Amino acid sequence: MCPGSFDPVTNGHLDIIGRCAELYDEVVVAVFVNESKTSLFTVDERREMLAEATEQWANVQVDAFQGLVVDYCQARQIPVIVKGLRAVSDFDYELQMAQMNRGLAGVDTLFMPTNPEYSFLASSLVREISKWGGDVSSLVPPLVCKRLGDRHHGGAV
């Protein structure tokens, strides 16, 4: 499973999801509520955008959940979490979560290095650039670009 906030899904997320879809028979991408972050899109909106952006992979399912990632994995007998790593700076936090999740429920996490093309990419930057009228069309899929434009500027990005 690939858990995340996906607020909104970016081309960096899709790179990881697509590579997981080639490696695994089934992939679940789940939108989690991260209460330490303020969100631009509702969980339902994020889920809708993910579903549309991952349509090309028949073995990818999209879901949403509030609670612990490991509870979700245990309820659905999902044995592994895959997380993308953009840079060493992601590693501390991700290692801590991976060790906690393994300790809590025996669920392992595998790290996949992101394509270097996306190593600078973050949903928070996409939200900020779009808010101030910058062009995010190379960073997110077209449907997300449109939603960002609608949300911030009533149409134009």
User: Per the residue annotation, which of 5, 39, 47, 123 is the catalytic one?
Assistant: 123
Residue 124: active-site member: no
Task: Cite the DSSP H helix spans in the chain.
Answer: 11-23, 43-53, 69-75, 88-105, 123-131, 142-153
CB of 26 to ligand PNS, least distance (A): 19
**Cβ neighbour number for residue 31 with a 10 Å cutoff:** 27
Toward ligand PNS, which CB reaches closer, 83 or 147?
Answer: 83
Residues numbered 26 to 85 that lie near ligand PNS (CB under 6 A) are 32, 34, 68-69
95 near ligand PNS, judged by CB under 6 A: no
Helix, strand or coil for residue 148? helix
Active site residue 13: yes
Alpha carbon distance 103, 111 (integer Å): 17
What SS3 string covers 71-82?
Answer: HHHHHCCCCEEE
Active site residue 153: no
Residue 136 binds ligand PNS, judged by CB under 6 A: no
Active site residues: 13, 37, 86, 123
Binding site for ligand PNS (CB under 6 A): 3-5, 32, 34, 68-69, 97, 100-101
